[in-house]
Amino acid sequence: MEKIVIGTRGSALALIQAEQVKATLEKIYNNRGFNLKIIKTKGDKIQNVALAKIGGKGLFTKEIEDALFKKEISLAVHSMKDLPVDLPEGLILAAIMKRIEPRDVLISREKVFLKNIKDGAKIGTSSPRRAAQLRAVKKDFKIFDLRGNITTRLKKIFSENFDAIVIAAAGLLRIGWIKEGKGFLKSPDELLYGNILPLDIMLPAVGQGAIGVEVCSDNLKIINMLSKINDKNTHIAISAERSFLKALGGGCQTPIGAFATINKEKLTIIGGVFSDDGQKISRAKIEGKKDKAEELGRQLAEKVEYNVS
């Protein structure tokens, strides 16, 4: 029987996400075979340079998309926050799995909340979006680039003497380093403690907390298979967020955050744009019918004053 090959990055988190897609498909199609193929991307290869300085879109996706075009893989698994809003012609986003915790988490060496961190604290993050919003809390925070996989970044709290780091809560939950509590995350060995940052302080990246599956648009067999693992409400919400980001002309290295939720037939999106120093902020919210997700995303972009650069 022909094996269906799933393309993925090779980091621990990427493999966990790909294994989740694989296990879900195997549960539905127990008579089919699925294999993983690890593909190294440009973003994986360059570890000693800040992502914002590398430039270009698709740092964690292009090589995997090339493998789709070459038919080396049947489908590609991505963190939705890494996937550019404009996909190459001939590729489509066939499924988005149910989103987990979308927010960011602050992990501090002294196990304190963001408001209690000292002035001039040394904080690590690889995201201009997070850096800008941190500076909006305290403009004298010293922000340092934080690259590497999750394990590496957690260790840098101690090895590079950070007061704290900020990373996505979803990755920590998926990798099992921390467990969820009431508004906080805690490592099983109790060495690390993190508090989830509320949306009024830290808007997440577009698509954060969700796993997407990309395929060739002419591969109808795989598209039909993936329809069974697509979470419709997550797909709609993230479509609204991606529409907002696209309308602003932004990418993953632009200080833009957004989060959409669905309650019955109503969709609510919060979006924000931030200056790099965090001193200029433009946030807005919009509500409407969920079947108008992309239109609502564009309307929200019009409400946000994009003049904070």
Q: How many CA atoms lie within 13 A of 287 on its CB side?
A: 5
Among 82, 86, 104, 140, the active-site one is 82
Give the integer Cα–Cα distance in Å for 126 and 31: 42
Pairing of strands 104-108, 142-144: unpaired
Instruction: Please classify residue 60 by burial: count the beta carbons closer than 10 Å to its beta carbon, then call 0-12 exposed, 13-18 middle and 19+ buried.
Output: buried
Backbone angles phi, psi at 4, to 5 degrees: -100, 120
Q: Residue with structure tokens 């060495």?
A: 191
Confirm whether 82 is a catalytic residue: yes
Backbone angles phi, psi at 308, to 5 degrees: -105, 5
**The token pair that represents 33 in the structure block:** 């075979």
Pairing of strands 75-79, 33-38: unpaired
Cβ atoms 255, 274 nearer than 8 A: yes
Question: Annotated catalytic sites, by residue?
Answer: 82
